[in-house]
């Protein structure tokens, strides 16, 4: 009765159009008041503990802030230039460069919609000007943008780690090979399509131009080394690395590339200025710009936007943790696990059920909410069937990638529609061929666990954690 009441109230609230965070909180509170001996005071305490007791969650606002600075600060533009110079000379190379740029930006942002917005705004129009069909360009970017939650660091992986108490570092490492593999599959598919459709290739810019674009993009690329290097080198935890990433993203955007803030448009070296004079001038200007940037409207807007996204996500997480608390106290996952074990369902059969459930949920809910609701239920069952928790996490993340592309709540679809100015039906049709590749990739990830587990196990073998 308790289980039925909890889920009936939850889905009734969602179908009425109530925000997912409110629906989770209201269904949990109503179930506690009707069926539990817990007091209202314990509910407020649990809401507070939901975020305060999960140190890993502190990384989320920092990664969101670094992503906001990088999206605004022109890092995406420089990564795109480097990607085009690297692979643009291959047939279909501009589309392949777009995928490579999405992979690079994913490794510094951790967000799928941010990846689509930052890269797609520039490259979709560029591909159309170069002779690519607009539907082809939009489909490639919408799908490549999903790599934002698979290639580490990933906000969705942090949510899974907090919900199941697994290592965030291991989750990040487990996503590395699948992320590269998915990017490679998309590039191969683009190359085949480009040969069939006779899509154009850019001229090779030369080694000097390639080297120059790499050095210009190095400011953004260094963030990958700083974050992942510090985590896997044992220097910092994911939360500490996220804090460093936020500070570094601010410095690169405001003082390095100077696309926003008080130094916007200020040249590193003026014509006829000596290197010594330029160095002294830049040093003094930077010292002046750091305190002034706190009041600068562009910097304040980035901080405000990042704060709004962080508060929204953490509010969902807090209510989802309360929902998970009700599940745990009422032993709902335990009962479900016992039923499934009694059915004699094998591990591979259970994983089919998991994929179907998550693909359906991805049509209606935001990825973080799905993980926080489903992980406490699926995790104990997976443990009883001998499925590795890291492998389960990557399966869930890949399902969340697909959920970003399925209506009516696919975030990447909305972002792509906003960039192209087309309606949702057009965007869905553009994404459909590439979505089939993602579904094939999901099957590989589900039934070849070593794709996800090779790096974490290898690092364990080297005693890297």
**Going residue by residue through the chain (465 aa), what tens digit of pLDDT does each one get?**
677 788 788 878 878 878 877 888 888 888 888 877 766 777 777 767 666 666 777 888 888 888 888 877 577 788 888 888 888 788 888 888 888 888 888 887 777 888 888 888 888 888 888 888 888 888 888 888 888 888 888 888 888 888 888 888 888 889 889 999 999 999 999 989 888 888 777 778 788 888 888 888 888 888 888 888 887 777 888 888 888 888 988 888 888 888 888 888 778 778 877 888 888 888 888 888 888 888 888 888 888 988 888 888 888 878 877 777 777 777 776 677 677 777 777 888 888 888 988 888 887 777 877 888 888 888 888 888 888 999 999 999 999 888 888 877 777 888 888 888 888 888 888 888 888 889 999 999 999 999 999 988 887 777 644
25 and 91 housed in the same domain: no
Q: Can you tell me the distance from the alpha carbon of 149 to that of 370, in angstroms, rounded to the nearest whole number?
A: 14
Residue 252: both structure tokens together? 């690169």
355 and 389 housed in the same domain: yes
94 and 158 housed in the same domain: yes
202: how many CB neighbours lie within 10 A of its CB?
A: 16
Residue 310 placed within a domain = no
Number of compact structural domains in the chain? 2
247 and 341 housed in the same domain: no
Residue 155 placed within a domain = yes
Specify the pLDDT at position 445: 93
> Given CA atoms 85, 89, 90, 92 in this order, what sign does their dihedral have?
positive
C-alpha 206 chain-centroid distance:
33
49 and 108 housed in the same domain: no
33 and 130 housed in the same domain: no
381 and 235 housed in the same domain: no
* Residue 165 burial (C-beta neighbours within 10 Å; 0-12, 13-18, 19+): exposed
The reply to whether the predicted model has a pTM over 0.85 is no
28 and 107 housed in the same domain: no
Residue 139 placed within a domain = yes
Q: Can you tell me the distance from the alpha carbon of 208 to that of 210, in angstroms, rounded to the nearest whole number?
A: 5
Residue 155 lies in domain: 58-267+293-301
Measured in residues, the chain has a length of: 465
Q: Can you tell me the distance from the alpha carbon of 332 to that of 353, in angstroms, rounded to the nearest whole number?
A: 18
Residue 378 placed within a domain = yes
Nearest Cα to Cα of residue 196 among 184, 188, 204, 205: 188
Residue 135 placed within a domain = yes
What distance, in Å, lies between the first and last C-alpha atoms of the chain? 44
448 DSSP 8-state letter: -
Q: Which of 301, 324, 358 is at the close of a domain? A: 301
CB 66 within 8 A of CB 109: yes
Listed in sequence order, the DSSP H helices in 133-167 are 134-144, 155-164
Residue 282 placed within a domain = no
Residue 296: both structure tokens together? 């600068």
Q: Can you tell me the distance from the alpha carbon of 374 to that of 358, in angstroms, rounded to the nearest whole number?
A: 8
Residue 306 placed within a domain = no
144 and 197 housed in the same domain: yes
92 and 36 housed in the same domain: no
133 and 182 housed in the same domain: yes
CB 72 within 8 A of CB 302: yes
Q: Can you tell me the distance from the alpha carbon of 66 to that of 71, in angstroms, rounded to the nearest whole number?
A: 9
Nearest Cα to Cα of residue 220 among 249, 240, 244: 249
50 and 105 housed in the same domain: no
Residue 7 placed within a domain = no
């Amino acid at each position: 009765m308790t289980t039925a009441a909890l889920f009936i109230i939850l889905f009734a609230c969602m179908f009425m159009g109530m925000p997912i965070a409110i629906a989770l909180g209201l269904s949990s509170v109503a179930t506690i008041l009707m069926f539990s001996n817990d007091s209202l005071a314990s509910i407020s305490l649990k809401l507070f503990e939901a975020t305060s007791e999960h140190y890993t969650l502190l990384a989320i606002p920092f990664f969101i802030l670094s992503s906001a600075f990088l999206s605004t600060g022109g890092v995406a533009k420089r990564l795109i230039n480097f990607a085009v110079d690297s692979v643009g000379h291959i047939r279909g190379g501009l589309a392949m460069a777009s995928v490579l740029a999405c992979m690079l930006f994913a490794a510094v942002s951790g967000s799928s919609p941010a990846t689509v917005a930052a890269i797609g705004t520039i490259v979709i129009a560029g591909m159309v000007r170069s002779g690519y069909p607009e539907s082809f360009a939009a489909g490639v970017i919408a799908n490549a943008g999903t790599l934002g939650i698979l290639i580490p660091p990933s906000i969705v992986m942090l949510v899974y780690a907090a919900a199941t108490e697994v290592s965030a570092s291991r989750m990040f490492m487990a996503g590395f090979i699948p992320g590269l593999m998915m990017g490679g599959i998309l590039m191969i598919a683009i190359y085949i399509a480009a040969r069939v459709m006779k899509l154009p290739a850019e001229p090779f810019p030369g080694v000097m131009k390639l080297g120059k674009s790499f050095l210009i993009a190095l400011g953004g690329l260094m963030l990958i080394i700083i974050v992942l290097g510090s985590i896997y080198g044992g220097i910092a935890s994911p939360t500490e690395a996220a804090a460093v990433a936020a500070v570094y993203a601010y410095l690169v955007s405001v003082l390095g590339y100077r696309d926003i803030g008080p130094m916007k448009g200020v040249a590193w070296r003026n014509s006829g200025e000596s290197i010594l004079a330029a160095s002294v001038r830049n040093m003094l200007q930077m010292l002046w710009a750091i305190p002034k940037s706190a009041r600068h409207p562009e910097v304040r807007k980035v901080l405000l936007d990042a704060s709004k996204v962080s508060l929204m996500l953490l509010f969902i997480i807090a209510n989802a943790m309360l929902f998970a608390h009700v599940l745990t106290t009422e032993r709902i996952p335990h009962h479900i696990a016992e039923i499934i074990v009694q059915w004699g369902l094998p591990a591979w059969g259970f994983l089919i059920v998991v994929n179907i459930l998550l693909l359906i949920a991805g049509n209606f809910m935001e990825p973080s909410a799905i993980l926080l609701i489903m992980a406490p239920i699926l995790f104990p069952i997976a443990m009883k069937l001998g499925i590795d928790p890291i492998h389960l996490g990557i399966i869930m993340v890949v399902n969340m990638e697909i959920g970003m592309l399925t209506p009516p709540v696919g975030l990447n679809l909305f972002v792509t529609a906003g960039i192209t100015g087309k309606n949702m039906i057009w965007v869905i049709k553009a994404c459909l061929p590439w979505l089939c590749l993602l579904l094939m990739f999901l099957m590989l990830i589900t039934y070849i666990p070593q794709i996800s587990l090779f790096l974490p196990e290898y690092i364990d073998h080297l005693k890297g954690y």
